[in-house]
Structures are given as structure tokens and as C-alpha cells.
Amino acid sequence: MVLEQLAQSYSNPIETDFDYDLAIAGGGIIGLTLASALKSSGLKVALIEAKPYSAAAAKGQAYAVHLLSGRIFAGIGVWDKILPHIANFRHVHLSDADYPGVVEFETSDLDTDVLGYVAEHQALLKPLQEFVRQCDNVTYLCPAEVVETRYQSSGVEISLSIDGEVKVIRTRLIVAADGAKSRIRQAAGINTRGWQYWQSCIVAFVKPEKGHNNTAYERFWSSGPFAILPLPGNRCRIVWTAPHAEAQALVSLDDEQFLTQLSRRAGDRMGKLTLEGDRFVFPVKLMQSDRYVMPRLALIGDAAHCCHPVGGQGLNMGIRDAAALAQVLQTAHIQGEDIGELLTLKHYERWRKRENLTILGFTDLLDRMFSNNLLPIVLMRRIGLLMLRRVQPVKVFALKLMTGLKGRTPEIAQKF
């Protein structure tokens, strides 16, 4: 690739008094995706993760992974290590609890082999960790914690805590990939907007008696959406949204009582369900940062935005942030620009902030429309579901939005 060769041979004449060109704070899936995508950029990167490798990979989470996210991982060169450990779905079954009509999405609607994937946290994190450890341009500091950032006109001084010692590094840019409670965003004084939903989300793993048939189910109840996602080994992920008190009461039930309630929600299409491991409950919120960038700082992933889990969008938005920012930084570097300058970083903000807002709005609308018994709203969603069933362009538009194929495609994903 000409771009990559140019980037590697280019040496930035602006200033050399830096330990790294950029530091990424947070080695979750999003921070790792950015570090991996910068492999051939010619930029010198420090990736800083507070938890030890195995603890960072041990999270009991699972995610719907969109087609575009898969293409980004393929462009990075890590997809073949991920694919054997995740499941795909070829059918999506969307329904409203008080209406018999079902919207069925099939691969023929998009002319693709699959409609998406479902991955457990470690199936994504471990291959990314391995990949980054092989990147010559990335210094992987783990466990190490960013404890302070001091912004200067030409760079950032970052204090790290490593094994109880404080070490200071200097970079042109810091990227905050440190999650929803981002200390770096808060310390920079960047405000956020949004709200806590009236719902919490219960997540659990189950094994159904019958096969899951590579189908993803999303059923909208007036208390909140309920999803069943297929996983390898004929297991499934349950993502069950309910009002806070109901969600707390459900997770407090013993296994047998919980399974009884779960089976009522899930129906009998998969036969008897068996619980695998613990169940957890999370509060659900919507959040958008007022700014994604300021001089010497960029926010990506949950540090920049969070959304309702309906439709499995959150992680995928972050993966697209990482790919977009990598492209913007690499282009700026090749052109001899300062990667930490506001003008450069604004390209990233313009690209991603509006697209993410569309997804936040879409997930919020879905949740509000379906968690509602007001007659005009019920009628509107029936019309919506009817259009999804009968009007092919509407169906394809919705499917593209849900699988990440609407919006600007990062260059790294374009070869697939």
C-alpha cells in the first residue's frame, strides 16, 4: 500500500522531543482496535491499560458484531484469528409482543453470507491483544494507569502509575479509550448530555435444548426489548431490558424461578433452556459528549458516547470511531501535519459525532416507540413493522443501519 509505505518512510519535521506520537489510554476492545489499525501508520504509539492482560480479557460480556466491524477487523488483519471463536447469524426475527406479525430479515435482503456475528468479550480481546503485542510501533504498557494529563501547546505530559511508581511520558496526542466513566474526559472538562433510562439490562448465557439455528431474536415488550443472540457451542446470550425494580427482582430470583420467567419471555421455540454461569444487571444510559476532540485530546468508544443496548450498537460505534481516527491520524502524518492539532482532530469529530448521534437517536426511538402503550404510538409502530415487512427498500435501509453499512466506510474496511 502506497499510503502505508509513505507513512513509514516519513519522519515528521515539526518536533522530535516526544516519547511517542500518541498515547491511547484504555486497552479495552476499542483502544486495542485503534492501536492495531495504526500498525503501518509510521506513528509511534503507547497503549496504556490499567488491568493486567488476563483481567482485561475476563469480562463476561458478549456483543453483536456488525458486518462493518468484521470488515474493519479484516482490514486490520486480525479477523481470521477472531472468526473461529464467534458465531454468526443468518436470520433476524423482529417482533412486537402484542402483535402477531413478525419481520424476518434474511441474508438475501443484503446479498451477504451472514447478517452479523456474536462474540464473547475474550474472543475479541485476546486476538487483539496478541496482534498489538506483535506491532513494532506500539509499546504496550499493561498494567499501567494514566493518573494525570497536563496539556501544553505542542504536546501532552502524561503521568502513569506502573507498579506503584510514577512515570511521565510526553506525546503529541492522548486518545481517551477509557470507557464510559472516562477520567480523562472529565479532567479535560468536557461535558456530556444524556440520561439514565428507566430500565436496566439483565444479561445471561443459556444453552437451549434445540439448536439456535443461527437466528437473532429481538422481541419488543412494553417493559423493554428482549433479545436472544446465538453463540458458538449452541449457547445463547440473553439481553433482557426491564424497568429497574423488575430487573432487580428478576436477578434476585433463584435459578429455577429465573428460568421460569425467562422461558415465558423466550417462548418454546428453542425447547428447554439451561442457565450457564451467573446473570448480571446493568443500568442503561444514553450519553453523548459535547466534544469528541480538543487540542491534544480525542475521545473514542464509550468515553465519547453510550447507548441503549437495543440493536447491539455500542461497541460497533466505538470500532468505527477507532477506524476513523486511525485514518485521520495516518493521513495527517503523511501530509506532515501535527496529529494533535485541533484542525486535524476536527476531521475525526465531524465524521463520527453526527453518525453516532443518528444511532443514539435510532436506539432511543426504538426503545421509546416499543416500550409504550399509547394508542397513537402503538398504531405508528404497527405501520412501521408493516412497512419493514412489505416495503423492501425500507427493510434494506433498516438492515443497513443496524449492520453498520450506512454512513461513511473507513478505508481500512473498503477492501472487503
Ligand X SMILES: Cc1cc2nc3c(=O)[nH]c(=O)nc-3n(C[C@H](O)[C@H](O)[C@H](O)COP(=O)(O)OP(=O)(O)OC[C@H]3O[C@@H](n4cnc5c(N)ncnc54)[C@H](O)[C@@H]3O)c2cc1C
Question: Which residues would be at the binding site for ligand X (CB under 6 A)?
Answer: 25-31, 48-51, 56, 61, 63-64, 145-146, 177-179, 183, 201, 203, 239, 282, 301-302, 309, 312-316, 318
Smallest gap from Cβ 318 to ligand X, in A, equals 5
By the 8 A CB rule, do 32 and 4 touch? Answer: no
Q: Which CB, 57 or 329, lies closer to ligand X?
A: 57
Bridge-partner residues for 217, per DSSP? 93, 228
Q: Which CB, 312 or 407, lies closer to ligand X?
A: 312
Q: Give the separation between CA 95 and CA 269, rounded to whole angstroms.
A: 14
Q: Which CB, 5 or 248, lies closer to ligand X?
A: 248
HSE (CB half, 13 Å, CA atoms) of 215?
Answer: 16
Give 73: exposed, middle or buried? Use CB within 10 Å, 0-12, 13-18, 19+. buried
Smallest gap from Cβ 156 to ligand X, in A, equals 14
Smallest gap from Cβ 258 to ligand X, in A, equals 17
Smallest gap from Cβ 382 to ligand X, in A, equals 26
Smallest gap from Cβ 69 to ligand X, in A, equals 8
State how far the alpha carbon of 76 is from the alpha carbons of 79, 175, 212, 410, in Å: 8, 19, 30, 11
Q: Which CB, 119 or 398, lies closer to ligand X?
A: 119
Handedness of CA 62, 265, 278, 245 (dihedral sign): positive
Smallest gap from Cβ 6 to ligand X, in A, equals 30
HSE (CB half, 13 Å, CA atoms) of 190?
Answer: 23
Q: Which CB, 56 or 345, lies closer to ligand X?
A: 56
H/E stretch holding 400 = helix 392-402
Q: Which CB, 302 or 338, lies closer to ligand X?
A: 302
Q: Give the separation between CA 57 and CA 215, rounded to whole angstroms.
A: 26
